[in-house]
Amino acid sequence: MAVREILQGDHPLLRTQCSPVTEFDDSIAQLLQDLEDTMKQHRGTGLAAPQIGVDLQAIVVDANDGMLALLNPQITSSEGTQESVEGCLSFPETTLKLTRPQSITVLARDRSGSQVQLDATGHLARVLCHEIDHLQGILFFDHLSNEQFVEQLLGQVGSSGDSIPIAPHKSSGTDRDPDMDARQREVRLALDFLADAAWKLELAHDLLKDHKDLITAAKDDWNRLGKLAKKLSKAAIKWERSWKKNS
């Protein structure tokens, strides 16, 4: 088992248009195995070679349909749209709601270099789009404009600063409630998203203040944005403590 380090953040290597695979030898087989091992270790659904610092067009995907290893993948056609939340192993604390094709056709090479064609829909299509983007130096937040990103965050901010009651979960051994486990995972994901949104909103407010001369905004707008950022940050901390206490 070879678990590789995953590059974190907007790393220069993640902005590289990767080179196509031309030799389908043992080194490529090892690369695909490393990608698979690393993805499983981090409980991901997909991983691309540049995420482990390798400049080659190679991805692995497991979207509950079995493991796929694809080389030089290209999306040749797409139909429809779907909207859902995405994460990324290179940005483990960030989740964003994105629009992707509902169905795609992918042309690629398999481990031996043979050409394969894959028709994918739903979740599998989404994961494939995400990983193929990586091979072109495209990160998932590139699909949102700055305005869309801020609007998305603001749309998920509640108006109340009260804590959210979360049911305790202190089971042990094999006496576990699958429904409660699923709820706990959803709460963990929501809290991670909230914390990420809080610091980004505060950062956006601070950056915009430095360039007020370029933006037409009333004083009240600046004050509201600043207060919202602070309230969101406090709420994130408060809800995190509440969840940990009751988990």
Sign of CA dihedral 28, 10, 77, 128: positive
Alpha helices in 10-121 (DSSP H): 26-41
Q: Is 134 annotated as a binding residue?
A: yes
Q: Is 129 annotated as a binding residue?
A: no
Number of H helices, E strands in the chain: 5, 7
Residue 101: DSSP 8-state: -
Side chain identity at residue 212, one-letter code: K
Structure tokens at 34: 């490393």
Q: 83, 131, 151, 186: which one is catalytic?
A: 131
Question: Please, are residues 129 and 101 in contact by the beta-carbon 8 Å criterion?
Answer: yes
Q: Is position 5 annotated as part of the catalytic site?
A: no
Q: Is 88 annotated as a binding residue?
A: yes
Question: Please, are residues 64 and 37 in contact by the beta-carbon 8 Å criterion?
Answer: no
Sign of CA dihedral 225, 226, 227, 232: positive
Structure tokens at 220: 């009240």
Give the C-alpha separation, 193 to 87, whole Å: 10
Catalytic site positions:
131
User: Binding-site residues for Fe cation, please?
Assistant: 88, 130, 134
User: Binding-site residues, please?
Assistant: 88, 130, 134
